[in-house]
Structure 1
Amino acid sequence: MTAVPESSDEPSSPEMVGGTPSSTSTSTNGPPRLDQIPTVDLLGEIRRRQAILSRPERRVVLTGPQGAGVGIATQAARLARAWGICDINHQQLVEEEAAAAAAAREQQHGGDTTTTGGGVPAIVEAMKAPQCRRGFVLHHIQPDNSALSMMKVEKELDHFGMSPIDTAVIIEPKEYSNTTDSDVETSLMKRISGRLYHKPSGRVYNVSSPGCEPKVSGEDDLTYEPLSVGKEPSLNMISTALNEWFGPIRKSVVEYFSRSGKLVVPSIDAMQSPNEVAEEVLEHVTKGPAMKQQQTLSENNNQ
């Protein structure tokens, strides 16, 4: 789980991925003690948390073309901090659970590394954390971000008595229209080249994208742990991811969440700057889907 904006109303912040360095973030020896943090910063954090408490609960799915560099993981982290909810990367949970299961089987059965399950028990466990009491932002739904994958997760959450998803937001490059749209692919490749990863949390940084670099070179902003270099993208990888999304997957997701009244429209253009995307994500989640708007209007009319 990860964190995001320093101000509940401002997507750009010192303590989020790609924020501006603050006077308390330059130490390489771990987080500062409370008595080392300026009083004005402490009071600002208290005000931020008080503002968060006035926000309604939200259980959000943030989705779009997976692996295409549209920055869904980064935006999820920013939303989580801005709204005071937890950040759940389903892909990361699935990979961790599969690795743990494989290791356990290998130890017990001498090498049987067949894995099963889809990470849902790990999601249930993650949602028990205090940060998830007011909601969550869920992203990178496995195995393929499709409506079927979303449906499976929702059914399992219901089975374990967890609160359901209530808001769905799509981030995608709106200019992309066909398999020959090389300008969008090239632009996305430039945006995701030079990425650095904090694997324990799933936070992603980009040294080649202004505003998305770590505050201290090579270190995670929140834990001060070293960052690892990810696999460099290719045009083929990005093209494949975009074409998969703009094929049946996108249509299935739109239809699925539209039927349940959970989809916030329109989708958000991923080709904007990260801060512009973050502002729109916050606006979409604040507005909520049409279903919530109708409920609020009905409640106001009955008062």
Structure 2
Amino acid sequence: MTAVPESSDEPSSPEMVGGTSSSTSTSTNGSPRLDQIPTVDLLGEIRRRQAILSRPERRVVLTGPQGAGVGIATQAARLARAWGICDINHQQLVEEEEAAAAAREQQHGGDTTTTGGGVPAIVEAMKAPQCRRGFVLHHIQPDNSALSMMKVEKELDHFGMSPIDTAVIIEPKEYSSTNDSDVETSLMKRISGRLYHKPSGRVYNVSSPGCEPKVSGEDDLTNEPLSVGKEPSLNMISTALNEWFGPIRKSVVEYFSRSGKLVVPSIDAMQSPNEVAEEVLEHVTKGPAMKQQQTQSENDNQ
């Protein structure tokens, strides 16, 4: 089986917003140049994208606790490829803003101003051509709460942009208490051993079958070296899960339920990454209850 990077676009996938590469043999998003891709692969990609055009537009929020065990960024990249929409990682946008501010301070001194916690950057990202059919937005800062999501939606409305229409939650359903140590240990094993290709944002996992790099320590697309990320601890996972299953989850469910955008039920993160990806695609295809009712009403009127 071909290894699939944990949070990677494959060579023919839509561009992921954020991240550049300095390699002259690759494009600015870390993918190979067109003249390096075999013609048969390019033709296959054209056919794939033509098929995608039959799908309706979708503007999706994919959310859940940090350390969910499957990598929400992984699932966002897979959904973006399958649906032909762009992948927007809010956390990465914020980090890029902070890095740019730090660089300005070092160069000019004293100027560490950012553009607003990544929210204006989201709006700019959504203006990109690859986002015209929709997007999957994830890792909404600072805490994935309903308040954070409300700020994003207000910004979209302010600029007259299409709103979020679908919300999908991925979470370890077995986790039910602050003392659920078996689930915490299982999650720690699943998210340990991650390797990162920072220019593109691709993430691999040597502990997860099918998510390893093809060549040990090298990015699949550019052959550039991968860096080792900070390994999780049980305390980090426990804290993240307790925060999510406390007020944050409740606020998110209530917020998107009121607007009819939440697709239920949530998806169990304890499944294999492929099983989770299949359910994410099913949820987005089905859409929230609001869309199902609208479709049924249209069918009844025909």
Shorter-chain TM-score category?
0.7 to 0.9
Shift of residue 24, structure 1, vs aligned partner: 19
Q: Unmatched 5+ residue regions in structure 2?
A: none
Partner of 1:138: 137
2:16 and 2:30 map into 1 onto residues whose CA distance is 17
Q: CA, structure 1 residues 178+7, in 2 after alignment: closer, same or farther (shift >3 Å)?
A: closer
Shift of residue 278, structure 1, vs aligned partner: 0.3
Shift of residue 190, structure 1, vs aligned partner: 0.5
Partner of 2:112: 113
Are the aligned partners of 1:76 and 1:137 in contact in 2 as well (CA < 8 Å)?
yes
Are the aligned partners of 1:73 and 1:202 in contact in 2 as well (CA < 8 Å)?
no
Partner of 2:292: 293
Q: CA, structure 1 residues 186+11, in 2 after alignment: closer, same or farther (shift >3 Å)?
A: farther
Farther off after superposition, 5-14 or 130-139: 5-14
Q: What TM-score do you get using the length of structure 1 for normalisation?
A: 0.85
Deviations 1:229-262 (A, max 9, x none): 1001100000000000000000000000000000
Q: What TM-score do you get using the length of structure 2 for normalisation?
A: 0.85
1:194 and 1:236 map into 2 onto residues whose CA distance is 17
Q: CA, structure 1 residues 271+26, in 2 after alignment: closer, same or farther (shift >3 Å)?
A: farther
1:3 and 1:213 map into 2 onto residues whose CA distance is 6
Are the aligned partners of 1:106 and 1:113 in contact in 2 as well (CA < 8 Å)?
yes
Shift of residue 226, structure 1, vs aligned partner: 2.6
2:292 and 2:30 map into 1 onto residues whose CA distance is 44
Q: CA, structure 1 residues 41+20, in 2 after alignment: closer, same or farther (shift >3 Å)?
A: farther
Q: How many residues align?
A: 301
2:112 and 2:27 map into 1 onto residues whose CA distance is 42
Are the aligned partners of 1:192 and 1:233 in contact in 2 as well (CA < 8 Å)?
yes
Identity %: 98
Are the aligned partners of 2:8 and 2:201 in contact in 1 as well (CA < 8 Å)?
no
Shift of residue 212, structure 1, vs aligned partner: 1.0
Are the aligned partners of 1:66 and 1:145 in contact in 2 as well (CA < 8 Å)?
no
Q: CA, structure 1 residues 76+29, in 2 after alignment: closer, same or farther (shift >3 Å)?
A: closer
2:184 and 2:281 map into 1 onto residues whose CA distance is 26
Q: CA, structure 1 residues 74+11, in 2 after alignment: closer, same or farther (shift >3 Å)?
A: farther
1:138 and 1:169 map into 2 onto residues whose CA distance is 11
Are the aligned partners of 1:5 and 1:15 in contact in 2 as well (CA < 8 Å)?
no
Deviations 1:184-232 (A, max 9, x none): 1111110111101122332221011101112232233334433211001
Shift of residue 270, structure 1, vs aligned partner: 0.3
Match of 1:151, SS state, is helix
Are the aligned partners of 2:25 and 2:33 in contact in 1 as well (CA < 8 Å)?
no
Partner of 2:54: 54
Q: Unmatched 5+ residue regions in structure 1?
A: none
RMSD: 5.4
Match of 2:148, SS state, is helix
